[in-house]
Structure 1
Amino acid sequence: MVYLPQEDSHLLKKWVEQLAKGNVLDMGTGSGIQAFAALPNAKKIVAVDADPNAVEYIKNALIFEATSKIEVRRGNLFDAVKPKEKFDVMIFNPPYLPESKYDKEIDTTGGKNGWETIEKFLKGAGKHLEKDGIILMVFSSLTNKDKVLEIAKAEGYKPHLLQKKHVSFEDLFVYKFTLV
């Protein structure tokens, strides 16, 4: 199932439009909203998703956009990224909700506690991020913000809160991470 843009997607999109430039990685592209938001200032965009339906969805959208800047790849996190490939900006709207007996969908749940997919991403991102590069990520208060920031710091990133917004039953956070 393709993750269609929700409040978190639109919140992140605002920052992508302002900060995305150069070579961009849109990890977990879903509908491609972030990849398309990055188009004006990006040199090249690699849009990755594990879901074959999402890959097909964005490829179909590219027919109408008529751009050669976006390359779509299927894969689970960094297995779709070439070993020496580097990016100026990485965008990640991860599945971040904790698993429950009612919700185990891979497009919304990030593991038992919600932060496990974020941890895997942050562990792999450093070797593909340019020295002065940034990671733009959105996640929820339901994910355990302190744990996410602890993981980021342990992996060598400095977190910068860009925006916090209360929506319904949760707070959404947009962070920019830079290498220390």
Structure 2
Amino acid sequence: MSTATRRFPLTDWTVVVPVVALLALVFSWGRDLPGFAVGLVALCLGGAVLAAVHHAEVVAHRVGEPFGSLVLAVAVTVIEVALIVTLMADGGDKTASLARDTVFAAVMITCNGIVGLSLLVGALRNRVAVFNAEGSGAALATVATLAVLSLVLPTFTTSKPGPEFSTAQLTFAAVA
């Protein structure tokens, strides 16, 4: 390998950005920040998330299919759940419905955005949209199950007022 193509890992953005984000976290933890500092910390968080996804993508390429797709899916899911849990833990009662709202957003993005855009692009390119019914059926079944479990079912339970699960119901949903 020539020296022109050698990469030094300490100067790679995927190493530098998470370190900068960690420093931003350390210096901003528990403080009231002005608007520009909040924006800077949010930028650092976004960069750290992109670096984590990049690392997961590198691992996914090395592992190959089908495990590479699973590595990427698990990495993105862990990042998303961590962000939601962090927001819910810090927000108090105002964020009690954040997880439910997130599932609703995922349903809307999946059903309307991804499926609709895929059908539109397929029809524009080939005049007839062809899709893998097995794969899309499995994805939509998963989204429908999550939607019923988190959006519909809490409305009909009587253990707590309003569309909320009790602790026992949440434990069952987590295990199931």
Which structure would you say has the larger RCO, counting Cα contacts within 8 Å and 6 or more residues apart?
1
Structure with the bigger percentage of strand: 1
Structure with the bigger percentage of helix: 2
TM-score for both structures, normalised by structure 2? 0.27
TM-score for both structures, normalised by structure 1? 0.26
Greater Rg over alpha carbons, structure: 2
